[in-house]
Amino acid sequence: MEYFSLKRSSTASRGQPNLSSKVYVRSTKSGKVQKIVRELYLRQDIPCSSNLCKACLQITPTDYSNKVASFVLSDTPAGSKKFPNGQYLVPDTNAFLTGMDLFEVETAFHDVIVLQTVLEEVKNRSLPLYHRLIALTKNEGKRFYVFFNEFRMETHVAREAGESINDRNDRAVRKAVQWYNHHVGEAVAARSKKSKRVPSVVMISDDRDNLRKAKSDGIPALSLSDFVSGLKNVDELLDMISAAQDRREVRSAKAEALYPEYFSMSKMMTGVKTGTMHQGIFNVSPYNYLEGSVHVPAFDKSLLILGRENSNRAVSGDIVVVEVLPQDQWKAPSTKVIEEETLNKNDNPEAEYGENVISERERRALQEEVKRAHGQSAEGKPQPTARVVGIIKRNWRQYVGHIDRDSVRLTSKSSRQQQMVFLVPMDKRIPKIRIRTRQAGELLGQRVLVSIDSWERDSRYPVGHFVRSLGELESKGAETEALLLEWDVQYRPFPKTVLDCLPAEGHDWKVPASLDDPGWIRRKDLRDLLVCSIDPPGCVDIDDALHARQLPNGNFEVGVHIADVSHFVKPNNAMDKEASQRGTTVYLVDKRIDMLPMLLGTDLCSLKPYVERYAFSVLWEITPDADLVSSHFTKSVIRSREAFSYEQAQIRIDNKSQQDDLTNGMRVLMMLSKKLKQKRMDAGALNLASPEVKVQTESETSDPVDVQTKKLLDTNSLVEEFMLLANISVAGKIYEAFPQTALLRRHAAPPKTNFEELGNQLKVKKGLELRTESSKALADSLDTCVNEKEPFFNTLVRIMATRCMMSAEYFCSGTQAYPEFRHYGLASEIYTHFTSPIRRYADLEAHRQLAAAIDYEPLDPSLQSKAKLEAVCKNINVRHRNAQMAGRASIEYYVGQALKGKDIQEEGFVMKIFENGFVVFVPRFGIESLIRLRDLATLEPEAEFDAENYVLRIKGEKARSVELFEKVTVRITDEKEESTGKRKVKLTLV
């Protein structure tokens, strides 16, 4: 009987040799479990990519333009003592996991072959590391080559019966190294008869078993540390190896577990689904490092997490799963300031064993808290507390900090002995990090960048490793870089691929003279309009310009003209991707980190005066009562007549003798803007305040000389009103055109509970009522919060109210219901960002959508996909916030520098009261700072804290009481903060 087998899977033994398969189980999100069979078609045309090899050049597949991808690996790779003929490195998975920082070093680790097996394993183990590895392979200078060993017939390894996946992968790595060695040998032999220099292909692995097997197979192999030992500046490099690895080996069995074990992932997922556990982001209070909170969707108020044991190794920012504690352990949020450095000053970083999770002092501090919580009346109601039972995702990044001087045993610079030291992060919410270093002496007094590697159950603090030093503490370069790193701002220069996307003409680019040019298609000629721009002094990236003129029917035509950035930045090219990554331009006091390359931002896009520029115009017909008759959108060409600063514009408008058309147009704008503002206020828009100061710097050295609060002129609000109007009009238009995918901006109404505290404070202290049922009510009640004697009181309340708000966010219209689109602060039904495309990516996307909505050009598919837009929104929301934070941190640093060595007395206001201190805000410098009781006298004075009336009665020799909203005089000096190494202003009560 003729018989054909239907089987195909076991082709390793019979049938085609170029076919293999891979079988695994995939669990989908919806809970399905599938057996997946992937067939592999093995090929022989995957090149080795070594420039030594001629044979591979012949077989390499060509791309669509018939070009062969250029080979990566150098033909004269660097050698070492052991391999004098040069070496190609083949690291295994663990080498990358523990030494990624090493591989990123510019001076070493070139000519690295990244095997597909390894790349996939890295991806499974750690996504962030995978992305860094991918970035490395794209870095031309590093010469990292991804070799698809699983697809190449000679290096494919089938899993043997009973072999674990790890063993198979290790074998695949060894096989690939073996093949490479053989292949490179052949290639060199083919090049010249008398081959002298055959580079070795060396496996880098820390797995002893793997090294042993490699040795017995005659494959060159080294452990990571052995390899590094042969390089220059060993100490620095060795410090960069992740600490997670060696700790695992060092630890003995007797090490006592300090923290409870995490639940298994499946247990947590089940718990979260059934509602017995909750998932959220772990946040640590900036005032009390022992108090964390997790906002979970199930409750309005965040769950409190108190103490180290309950926070169970979670670091601020991690996504955690928590379990609510029984009611008898609930307590009120802390009213006390607890700082790590004061409590745990004398920890010994070397101590590996016998630590307690909670030091005795911490325990006492917590105990007091609980006692107080129990003896409290209804005011400070105990809140639900919770404990962390597991971590869904670590959001560890690299942290900037400085080495704790007390933790260094050997300070001599010459000593190369390895020792454990503490790194104190700049961010107070991050615990001290234990790092092992050989260069402790040198690192003292420097800003240092480190990574956290692990936090085991038996270690009180997380363990990390050194990445690099940023420079001397307090030097401008180091501090600026530190804050950019802390806020994850991409500050490296634009790569070449991005600059390649710029117009070839460079600065000579001009609006084409001929109206037949393709650039003029569907573009309106508005060059005859009297357009001008009004910006802060010294502004070079001019996004917007305005004009107004009277129409024959008595109405006005008002135009807002925005730089046409989308003409220059096409979707999905390298420049667009870079801009979408950066999300926004970051403004620091002395520095601007651009979203787009300078050429565009400050020249070609910028609506500079006296030259023709492409613009995207919004034109309205507006009645003299500031009612909209119609709006119209068009791409255009304009010529700005003048670029004013706010002040210049104000002077020009106020100067009655100026009666030219341009000035009159500005007066019309001014008149209309006032009416528009009134309408907005009537609708319930909020007039919020944030402490804004400006640092005056010396132009040459950009050293700060003075600090001023920002002045607001009518012209500021003139520009603002029309920008708001343009944004609202555009939002309506793009939503109408793309109801599912319009990129909009919303500001959610704050939950009532956010205002509880402030409302209560106002009621108790000032007898004022804060109504929060709508934005209109809030705006009105904020207006009533005045104190005749103290004009600043109203601003103070506004600042505090602002902090109770939600933050506005970008979103994709399909993800929310229409009522949720509302912008609470602006009291607008719909809103987007359109007016600053040079410095915000959201505006650029809005430009593209508007261009498609008016049929100027087709919409790019990336803007039609809800999922893609959501990812963009998520990123720019984060970037936007980080940019603001970085800006603030920069101001804070410069204010500190400006006040350096000064001693000033200034008025301040009490903003917040704790049991053992209070926060004072100084409007003159926009600074707010904590004054601790122990700062008041040498011996910490006793004090009585009346939480219900927000009064702190200080006893002892300097008896006085401090109450909320009180105006106090403070003495401002500067001080280097021990915990963060930042120079900070220090306030003392006078």
Q: Would you give the binding string for other proteins spanning residues 154-193, x where CB under 8 A is met? A: -----x-----x----------------------------
Which of these, 369, 364, 375, lies nearest to 334 by C-alpha position?
369
* DSSP calls for 763-825: HHHH------SSHHHHHHHHHH---TT-THHHHHHHHHHHHHSPPPEEEEGGGS-GGGG-BTT
Among 23, 55, 250, 629, binds other proteins (CB under 8 A): 23
CB of 123 or CB of 667, closer to other proteins: 123
Q: How far is the CB of 8 from other proteins (least distance, A)?
A: 7
Q: How far is the CB of 264 from other proteins (least distance, A)?
A: 7
Question: Does residue 26 belong to the site contacting other proteins (CB under 8 A)?
Answer: yes
CB of 388 or CB of 599, closer to other proteins: 388
CB of 358 or CB of 392, closer to other proteins: 392
Q: How far is the CB of 16 from other proteins (least distance, A)?
A: 15
Among 13, 25, 216, 493, binds other proteins (CB under 8 A): 25
* DSSP calls for 591-602: -EE-SS-HIIII
Q: How far is the CB of 203 from other proteins (least distance, A)?
A: 24
CB of 6 or CB of 378, closer to other proteins: 6
Among 104, 235, 323, 488, binds other proteins (CB under 8 A): 323
Q: Count H helices and E strands in the chain, helices first.
A: 28, 37
Listed in order, strand segments (DSSP E) in 816-869 are none
CB of 325 or CB of 927, closer to other proteins: 325
CB of 274 or CB of 657, closer to other proteins: 274
DSSP character at residue 155? T
What is the distance between the alpha carbons of residues 324 and 343, in angstroms, rounded to a whole number? 27
CB of 12 or CB of 37, closer to other proteins: 37
Q: How far is the CB of 123 from other proteins (least distance, A)?
A: 14
What is the distance between the alpha carbons of residues 843 and 726, in angstroms, rounded to a whole number? 12
- Assess contact for 984 and 450: CB atoms under 8 A: no
Q: How far is the CB of 269 from other proteins (least distance, A)?
A: 5
CB of 263 or CB of 330, closer to other proteins: 263
Question: Does residue 674 belong to the site contacting other proteins (CB under 8 A)?
Answer: no
**Segment interacting with other proteins, rule: CB under 8 A, options 5-13, 301-309, 418-426, 494-502:** 5-13
Which of these, 358, 425, 206, lies nearest to 435 by C-alpha position?
425
Q: Nearest 5°: phi and psi at 729?
A: -60, -45
The token duo for 854 is 């008016």
Our CA angle for 740, 745, 749, nearest 5°, is 110
DSSP character at residue 405? G
CB of 386 or CB of 534, closer to other proteins: 386
CB of 257 or CB of 265, closer to other proteins: 265
Query: Which residue in the block uniquely carries the two structure tokens 């009297």?
Result: 530
Question: Does residue 37 belong to the site contacting other proteins (CB under 8 A)?
Answer: yes
- Assess contact for 470 and 484: CB atoms under 8 A: no
What is the distance between the alpha carbons of residues 960 and 955, in angstroms, rounded to a whole number? 7
Cβ neighbours of residue 800 under 8 Å, at least 6 residues apart? 758, 911
CB of 271 or CB of 583, closer to other proteins: 271
Question: Does residue 3 belong to the site contacting other proteins (CB under 8 A)?
Answer: yes
CB of 165 or CB of 190, closer to other proteins: 165
Break the chain down into helix, strand, coil percent, rounded to 5: 35, 25, 40
DSSP character at residue 508? G
CB of 312 or CB of 663, closer to other proteins: 312
Rg of the chain (C-alpha set): 32
Q: How far is the CB of 298 from other proteins (least distance, A)?
A: 14
**Which amino acid makes up residue 553?**
N
What is the distance between the alpha carbons of residues 483 and 494, in angstroms, rounded to a whole number? 20
CB of 324 or CB of 546, closer to other proteins: 324
Q: How far is the CB of 262 from other proteins (least distance, A)?
A: 12
Q: How far is the CB of 15 from other proteins (least distance, A)?
A: 14
Alpha helix positions (H), 854-943? 866-898, 933-936
CB of 4 or CB of 64, closer to other proteins: 4
The token duo for 831 is 């809103």
Q: How far is the CB of 148 from other proteins (least distance, A)?
A: 22
Query: Which residue in the block uniquely carries the two structure tokens 């420039």?
Result: 51
What is the distance between the alpha carbons of residues 745 and 728, in angstroms, rounded to a whole number? 10
**Segment interacting with other proteins, rule: CB under 8 A, options 35-43, 63-71, 217-225, 860-868:** 35-43
CA 792 to each of CA 48, 691, 759, 966: distance values in angstroms, whole numbers, following the listed order: 71, 11, 18, 12
Question: Does residue 65 belong to the site contacting other proteins (CB under 8 A)?
Answer: no
Q: How far is the CB of 259 from other proteins (least distance, A)?
A: 17
Evaluated on CA atoms 387, 391, 392, 397, the torsion sign reads positive
Q: Would you give the binding string for other proteins spanning residues 938-977, x where CB under 8 A is met? A: ----------------------------------------
Question: Does residue 12 belong to the site contacting other proteins (CB under 8 A)?
Answer: no
Q: How far is the CB of 162 from other proteins (least distance, A)?
A: 8
CB of 8 or CB of 510, closer to other proteins: 8
382-411 residues near other proteins, rule: CB under 8 A: 389
CB of 387 or CB of 733, closer to other proteins: 387
What is the distance between the alpha carbons of residues 759 and 784, in angstroms, rounded to a whole number? 13
CA 499 to chain centre: 24
CB of 35 or CB of 496, closer to other proteins: 35
The β-bridge relationship of strands 144-147 and 112-115 is parallel
Q: How far is the CB of 391 from other proteins (least distance, A)?
A: 16
What is the distance between the alpha carbons of residues 961 and 944, in angstroms, rounded to a whole number? 9
Size of the site for other proteins (CB under 8 A): 35
Question: Does residue 24 belong to the site contacting other proteins (CB under 8 A)?
Answer: yes
Question: Does residue 32 belong to the site contacting other proteins (CB under 8 A)?
Answer: yes
Evaluated on CA atoms 324, 325, 326, 328, the torsion sign reads negative
Q: How far is the CB of 280 from other proteins (least distance, A)?
A: 17
The β-bridge relationship of strands 743-746 and 983-989 is unpaired
**Segment interacting with other proteins, rule: CB under 8 A, options 26-34, 454-462, 635-643, 873-881:** 26-34
Burial of 485 (0-12, 13-18, 19+ CB in 10 A): buried
Query: What's the full length of the chain, in residues?
Result: 990
Q: How far is the CB of 273 from other proteins (least distance, A)?
A: 7
Q: How far is the CB of 387 from other proteins (least distance, A)?
A: 11
CA 206 to each of CA 94, 97, 246: distance values in angstroms, whole numbers, following the listed order: 7, 11, 10
Question: Does residue 5 belong to the site contacting other proteins (CB under 8 A)?
Answer: yes
Which of these, 887, 889, 893, lies nearest to 983 by C-alpha position?
893
Q: Would you give the binding string for other proteins spanning residues 404-443, x where CB under 8 A is met? A: ----------------------------------------
CA atoms within 13 A on the CB side of 633: 25
Q: How far is the CB of 23 from other proteins (least distance, A)?
A: 4
Q: How far is the CB of 152 from other proteins (least distance, A)?
A: 23
250-309 residues near other proteins, rule: CB under 8 A: 263-267, 269-271, 273-274, 276-277
Evaluated on CA atoms 765, 768, 774, 776, the torsion sign reads negative
593-652 residues near other proteins, rule: CB under 8 A: none
Question: Does residue 8 belong to the site contacting other proteins (CB under 8 A)?
Answer: yes
Interface residues with other proteins (CB under 8 A) are 1, 3, 5-9, 21, 23-27, 31-33, 35-37, 159, 165, 263-267, 269-271, 273-274, 276-277, 323, 389
